[in-house]
Amino acid sequence: MISLGIETSCDETSVSLVKDHYKVLVNEVVSSIDFHCKYGGVIPEIASRIHLETINEVTRSVFKKTALSLNDVSLITVTESPGLLGSLLVGLSFAKGLALSSEKPLIGVNHVNAHLYPVFFQKAKPRFPFIGLVISGGHTSLFLVKDFHNFKLVGRTRDDACGEAFDKVAKLLGLKYPGGPEIERLAKTGNADKIKFSFPGLKDSFDFSFSGIKTAVYYLVKNKKISVKNKKDICASFQKAVTSILIDKSIAALDKYKVRNFVIGGGVSFNNYIRDTFRSSFKNNKVKLFISEKKYCLDNAAMIAGLGSQLYRSRKKRSRFLIN
């Protein structure tokens, strides 16, 4: 069974073909980031126009690369939310057009939930129930996942999303957008113990808060000329503080729900320091840790095609099917 995935929620136009839920045949991602860089963030109108110009080409290319055609596809899947409205609309309209003309079923997929799916492309797969942490540009969410239909939100950010905090701190330091990779690059040669950021514990809750650290960086750099060495230390200390919040909350949620499988996904999980620190923190723990492969951390359609095919396979009466 081959499912076609379409993802256009932000600045990546992505199309993928996934076979039998777990095998990615092809995953094409075309980013419009270069058009947004100079504005310091994604401009929704530009993003949706570029999706419109790109989506046909990317879809053609995916079929060409695999020597498959729409006839070989059993299911069309598309990101339905959350995301930039105009961008989502391009993907949804395109997917609906394909589904109507080919009389194939179409299913809408939640983008945030889908960020936890790429670990299922790996040989060793997590078992339900698991705790899933999505760290992306728009979300920082902890889920208790009981099955592919059942994502219970148990913790979320109360202010900035994790990736958003990276992007904003990078901006304060005069680094380019997106800030995550820039901070990771500078942090490599910085002293992570130079600055001790304090952050609210938000006791008895699995919620996160990153805006305090961001504000602390603001006051560190305000009206000052910051040397490259200082910048590196700020990046390393900031990255360390964020990682420690993520790990503390994750462990607390695993303890509370007595769950032994833990999954991480989303753009920020591309960060090697975060990947390595999670790995070493969970080394002697009884919990099994699953981290998305780097090529599936950022926005991609393979995760949509994969989760969509699972939702379709185990569909319940009240599943949210769009058409056919």
Give residues in contact with Zn ion (CB under 5 A): 136, 299
Nearer to ligand KG4, 39 or 321 (CB): 39
Q: How far is the CB of 195 from ligand KG4 (least distance, A)?
A: 18
Q: Is 129 in the site for ligand KG4 (CB under 6 A)?
A: no
Q: How far is the CB of 170 from ligand KG4 (least distance, A)?
A: 8
Q: Is 7 in the site for ligand KG4 (CB under 6 A)?
A: no
Q: Is 126 in the site for ligand KG4 (CB under 6 A)?
A: no
Q: How far is the CB of 213 from ligand KG4 (least distance, A)?
A: 14
Q: Is 155 in the site for ligand KG4 (CB under 6 A)?
A: no
Q: Is 87 in the site for ligand KG4 (CB under 6 A)?
A: no
Q: Which residues sit opposite 135 in a β-bridge?
A: 140
The piece of 31-39, 87-95, 174-182, 285-293 that touches ligand KG4 (CB under 6 A) is 174-182
Candidate residues 47, 299, 308, 310; the one interacting with ligand KG4 per rule CB under 6 A: 299
Nearer to Zn ion, 270 or 282 (CB): 270
Q: What residue 178 binds from Zn ion, ligand KG4, none (CB within 5 to 8 A, per partner kind)?
A: ligand KG4
Nearer to ligand KG4, 105 or 140 (CB): 140
Nearer to ligand KG4, 106 or 298 (CB): 298
The piece of 25-33, 99-107, 159-167, 228-236 that touches ligand KG4 (CB under 6 A) is 159-167
- What values do phi and psi take at 99, rounded to 5? -70, -40
Q: What residue 166 binds from Zn ion, ligand KG4, none (CB within 5 to 8 A, per partner kind)?
A: ligand KG4
